[in-house]
Amino acid sequence: MSQVWKDYQEKNNDRFLNEMLDLLRIPSVSAKTEHKSDMLTCAEAVKKSLLEAGCDKAEIMATDGHPAVYGEKIIDPAKPTVLVYGHYDVQPPEPLELWTNPPFEPTIVDGKVFARGSADDKGQFYMHVKALEILTKTNSMTTNIKFLIEGEEEIGSPNLGKFVAANKELLKADVILISDSSMLSMENPSLDTGVRGLSYIQVEVTGANRDLHSGTYGGAVANPITILAQMIASCHDENNHITIPGFL
């Protein structure tokens, strides 16, 4: 780390922490309709943080669900561009009785921040926002940077695909930095070079409309549970390679 970066960080450490704690206090639970206004409040807070960190522009962009927040700092269109992805929504905090402290009242214990969203994903993307601030305030920018902070990751990002498809030019970048991953340990910072997505399918297997005696029908009429088990097992071969055509 450059000494000038470290000096700026240490000088502003208390402010950085307090700003993050304020962000964690917003109950941005995307799965519950009663938190719709909190989602908008959090989106506004993210936009504000991006502008204060040095983005040339930041805006809240509508989707068919909760809005996404976009920001950018372009120093030279000819230089490489990094796109930072993260999300400001969090999981529902229930069961509340299992929390030592209220989930939206951040608590610091042994140097660690405990609150809903502190590790998924407000803490992560906030780190990159503050990294941008350090770079802009110390005149250290060497690449362009864009941010896409969405509000529906915890419910499966149902509108992200459509949003990206509609904003390809806006989101165009040379590399994507996902601020929603993990590292090996506190002593070993880690860099993931790739992640896999998820694919959801629903399979319905229909069998007989009543119990069939195995002495009469056994072997002649397949048990739906057996067929479903065979279907699932056939997705991998004996070497655990995926057998679905076109699946990488």
pTM of the model: 0.82
Q: Quick: pLDDT tens for 116-149.
A: 999 999 999 999 999 999 999 999 999 999 999 9
More confident residue, 105 or 200: 105
The H or E element that residue 68 is part of is strand 68-73
Per-residue exposure over 43-73, b if at least 16 CB sit within 10 Å of its own CB, e if not: bebbbebbeebbbeebeebebebbbbbbbbb
Residues 150, 88 contacting (CB under 8 angstroms): yes
Beta partners for residue 107, in sequence order: 114
Q: Quick: pLDDT tens for 34-55.
A: 999 999 999 999 999 999 999 9
| Residues recognised as catalytic | 89, 153
Domains in the chain, CATH or no CATH each: 3-178 (3.40.630.10), 199-248 (no CATH)
